[in-house]
């Protein structure tokens, strides 16, 4: 009997993943990861859970224990608090310091869930590891899940071919979230109606502005209309804004809606423009760095997502001598430095890169970092 170690998060998805694997005849073992400690990590400002009798991580662990007991599998626990800080959270903070918009969930998958977790699972004798991600593996290739609305291959874009070698995604063919919850209800699991986790990976919901004050000093600066160079107000710190953002600018009196279109880190200026179709929101090429392919294919053309919920866009790829990739596309709105550009070919996810530089007509956009 093949042994599978499942990443048990204390949520309904990983709970049902374990059930499905057990039903398929695997010997299933649960492994819970604790990656964040609020007291050790100075997580006080913006933390809504400080006065709770039990912290969310311990509540999740208790839920994972209850699920494993109910379905009859053992549960182990491992702490990666230091490693998460060093490999994921430090990256997150460094990117924010540069004025970019990072995605810590992607790096969490790369360095924690599909690296350190796998090593721990192997110590338990795992033939395979499994998670509650909505994705598929077919013939060693990463594919979108059946439920496209929940598909999480975007967040797996930095996971390597080798890391995906012995991975199972039991939820890949699930029709919808309701089906997941129905399975959990059938087994009378405490997680059946548990709210999905949101916020930063393994940290949870936070008041973002207050939370960042624990780690980064904020500096007020000018908000300038890029079309006429008029000063419209003050921003509270460039790290709190992302390209394409409309809400939270606290500026009135303009004819049309205002959108964030750029940042000048040296001058501490936030640039905005009126109208959701303003030319400053659009680009048609970008430079990608930190390239990862999870397959042998190196396409010259494919589609890509620039954000998790975005639609696929047709792109052309030019492989540069320094290992980066230049991609070209028809005008796309709010392509953002620091975010992931993820490659797809039909249902297959090929990997991706991190957006380093955004361009228009082969020229770097001066108002984008």
3-state helix, strand, coil in the chain (%, to 5): 25, 30, 45
What digits encode the pLDDT tens for the residues 262-305?
999 999 999 999 999 999 999 999 999 999 999 999 999 999 99
* Tokens linked to 81: 């608090």
Q: Between 109 and 51, whose confidence is greater?
A: 109
Number of H helices, E strands in the chain: 8, 18
Q: Which of 55, 259, 100 is nearest to 63 (CA)?
A: 55
Q: Contact, 354 vs 289, CB < 8 A?
A: yes
Q: What is the pLDDT of residues 195-229, one digit of tens each?
A: 988 888 888 888 989 999 999 999 999 999 999 99
Q: Is 349 an active-site residue?
A: no
In angstroms, rounded to a whole number, what is the distance separating the alpha carbons of residues 194 and 63?
10
**Spatial distance between the Cα atoms of 137 and 171, rounded to a whole number of angstroms:** 11
pLDDT class for 48, splitting at 50, 70, 90?
Answer: confident
Exactly one of 55, 68, 108, 341 is catalytic; which is it?
Answer: 108
Statement: residue 255 has pLDDT above 90:
no
Tell me the whole-structure pTM to 2 decimals: 0.95
Q: What pLDDT, on the 0 to 100 scale, is given for residue 9?
A: 96
Q: Which sign, positive or negative, has the C-alpha torsion 222, 335, 103, 147?
A: positive
- Cα–Cα distance for residue pair 114/131, rounded to 1 Å: 10
Is it true that domain 218-274 has CATH number 2.30.30.280?
yes
**3-208 and 218-274 share one fold:** no
Q: Which fold has domain 279-364?
A: Elongation Factor Tu (Ef-tu); domain 3 (2.40.30)
Indicate if 55 belongs to the active site. Answer: no
Describe the crossing of helices 177-186 and 12-23 by its angle, rounded to 10 degrees.
70
According to the CATH classification, is domain 3-208 in 3.40.50.620? yes
Catalytic residue among 55, 68, 201, 302: 201
Domain locations along the chain: 3-208, 218-274, 279-364
């Amino acid at each position: 009997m093949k042994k599978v170690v499942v990443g048990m998060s204390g949520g309904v998805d990983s709970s049902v993943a374990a059930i499905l694997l057990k039903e398929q005849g695997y010997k299933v073992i649960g492994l819970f990861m604790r990656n964040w400690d609020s007291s050790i990590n100075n997580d006080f400002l913006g933390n809504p859970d400080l006065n709770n009798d039990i912290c969310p991580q311990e509540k999740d662990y208790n839920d994972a224990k209850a699920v494993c007991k109910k379905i009859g599998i053992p549960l182990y626990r491992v702490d990666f608090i230091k490693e998460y800080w060093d490999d994921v959270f430090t990256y997150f903070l460094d990117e924010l310091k540069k004025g970019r918009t990072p995605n810590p969930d992607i790096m969490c998958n790369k360095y924690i869930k599909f690296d350190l977790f796998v090593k721990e699972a192997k110590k338990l004798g795992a033939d395979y590891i499994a998670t509650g991600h909505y994705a598929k593996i077919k013939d060693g290739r990463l594919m979108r899940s059946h439920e496209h609305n929940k598909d999480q291959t975007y967040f797996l874009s930095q996971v390597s071919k080798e890391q995906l070698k012995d991975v199972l995604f039991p939820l890949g063919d699930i029709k919808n979230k309701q089906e997941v919850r129905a399975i959990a209800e059938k087994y009378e699991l405490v997680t059946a109606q548990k709210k999905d986790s949101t916020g930063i990976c393994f940290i949870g919901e936070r008041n973002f502005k207050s939370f960042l004050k624990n780690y980064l000093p904020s500096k007020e600066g000018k908000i300038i209309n890029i079309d006429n160079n008029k000063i419209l107000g003050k921003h509270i710190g460039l790290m709190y804004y992302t390209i394409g953002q409309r809400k939270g600018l606290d500026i009135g009196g303009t004819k049309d809606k205002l959108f964030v279109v750029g940042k000048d880190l040296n001058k501490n200026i936030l640039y905005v423009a009126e109208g959701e179709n303003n030319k400053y929101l659009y680009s048609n090429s970008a430079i990608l760095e930190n390239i990862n392919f999870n397959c042998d294919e190196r396409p010259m053309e494919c589609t890509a997502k620039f954000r998790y919920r975005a639609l696929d866009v047709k792109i052309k790829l030019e492989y540069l001598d320094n290992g980066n990739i230049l991609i070209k596309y028809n005008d796309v709105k709010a392509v953002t430095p620091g975010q992931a550009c993820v490659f797809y070919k039909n249902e297959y996810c090929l990997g991706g890169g991190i957006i380093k530089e955004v361009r228009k007509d082969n020229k770097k956009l001066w108002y984008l970092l």
